[in-house]
Amino acid sequence: MSRAAGQDVVLPVATLTVESLAESVLLHLPALTDALVQTIEDQNPAYRELDAVPRQDLWRSCHDNVARVVQMIAAGDNPGVHYFDAALATGRRRAEQRMPLDDVLKSFRLGGRLVWEALIDEARAQGMAESEVLLDVAGKVWEVVDRTSSQVAAAYHAAERYLVRADEQRRSTLWEGLLDGRANRAFVQEAATVLDLPVGGPYLVVAIDNLVDDDCTTTSFARRLAGIRVCSAWQVRPQTVVGLLALGTESSEKVLGLLREVVDAPAGLSGVVSGLAEVDVAYRQAMMARRTLPAGQIDVAALVDRLPEALLLSAPELAEQLVQTWLVPLMTVPAAERELLLRTLDNWVSAAGSVRRTAELAHCHRNTVINRLHRIHQITGRNLTDDGLQLELGLALRAFRLFPPSP
């Protein structure tokens, strides 16, 4: 309290004292920076253990942020937004360096304590160590540190969101490149690193109908496959869930068995290919294998078990011609008779043209089989006893299931 022109005038002594103390502390900024760097390295081991922040980067960040904190204290109650430039830059940079936010904020608290101690030391050196001054110093310091920390966290989260989007976009680009056949060495190596898969070794690709669009499902698939030492990476696409399966030393048969246990949707499994650079071939095979499944059937169709169907799907005009030649004429007979004759043809092909074996499969007398085969000959004009027709008929029956004609 002091008097001016006969009036009592209240001067903000404590505030002015804090501001002047802050100005004095700025003169010792390099030494304060050195002390803070050492304190962080001693008391915040993540910086040392993760080795994500170079020491020169840490020193510069400490220097700039301590300077801004002290400058804001010196500026009084209304510091401009430009005072947060160092905090914003630090938040962004630490997110890019993948430094955990908790450890970043811990360093700011350590810096706040160091600034507070420096202000107290300066107050004592100037003989102004009254308790009221000390309380004012503490309040100012932690108010500024809290505001600065909020800016750090906001910048960190914004950068983190951007990085997540960028990572997702890059991951998606790598997936598309692999499945499209971009096989140059540098690209494949980057894809292997990002997807955490080996570059070489045997691979399978599985393509599963995307019925639920649930990332938890792919996590479950990956966990089950890891249980048999098969590394995998998964991508959820609009219509299909695609899995890259690095077999290691496991057999494709074992993987197929596991997939049939865990997959509850129509799916296709490729043949084995060599290395990540060939998964585009395996992807096409898996998609082809999926197409061999009849509508509504839930199974994992392995390409190696469905090569004739895959061949027909790859040549739909020829498949249609086989159906037209062999089976479309049967569409003219009543449905009950048609089904009976089609089952007889299936049994005939399975029995390799043996009348006796066909009769066993059809659970009827061999003469009944002969009569049915004669009836088929009458309708189609094709003689089933001609050499080579069993293969053609077998393909026609498979094509019929893939491309059923309208009755």
**Boundary (domain end) residue, out of 285, 312, 339:** 312
**Looking at the structure, do residues 18 and 42 belong to the same domain, yes or no?**
yes
- Measured from the Cβ of residue 244, the count of other Cβ atoms closer than 10 Å reads 23
Residue 333 lies in a domain: yes
Question: How large is the average pLDDT for residues 295-312?
Answer: 92
- pLDDT tens, residue by residue, 346-363: 999 888 888 999 999 999
Q: How many CB atoms lie within 10 A of CB 93?
A: 17
**Tens of pLDDT along 105-148?**
999 999 999 999 999 888 888 777 666 767 778 888 999 999 99
Final residue belonging to a domain, choices 296, 312, 328: 312
Q: Model confidence at 216, in pLDDT bands (50, 70, 90)?
A: low
In this prediction, what percent of the chain has a pLDDT beyond 90?
Answer: 61
- Say if residue 42 is in the same domain as residue 134: yes
pLDDT mean across residues, the chain: 88
Residue 276: which domain range? 196-312
Number of helices and strands in the chain (H, E): 17, 8
Residue 370 sits in a domain whose CATH number is: 1.10.10.2840
What CATH number did the domain enclosing 110 receive? 1.10.490.10
Looking at the structure, tell me whether residues 152 and 244 fall in a common domain.
Answer: no
Residues 303 and 320 in one domain: no
174 within a domain of the structure (yes/no): no
Tokens of 9: 């005038």
Q: Are residues 280 and 351 in the same domain?
A: no
Domain match, 289 and 330 both: no
**In which band, very low, low, confident or very high, does the pLDDT at 5 lie, cut at 50, 70 and 90?**
very low
Instruction: Say yes or no: 301 and 342 in one domain.
Output: no
Q: Has residue 191 been placed in a domain?
A: no
Q: Is residue 170 part of a domain?
A: no
Q: How many domains does the chain have?
A: 3
Which has the closest alpha carbon to 274: 207, 198, 222, 221? 198
Both 143 and 219 in a single domain? no
Per-residue confidence (pLDDT) for residue 10, from 0 to 100: 37
- pLDDT tens-digit series, residues 310-353: 999 999 999 989 888 888 888 888 989 989 999 999 999 888 88
CB-based burial label for 228 (10 Å; 0-12, 13-18, 19+): middle
- Say if residue 319 is in the same domain as residue 343: yes
Cα separation, 238 vs 224, whole angstroms: 24
**Are 23 and 48 part of one and the same domain?**
yes
The CA distance from 347 to 362, in Å, is: 7
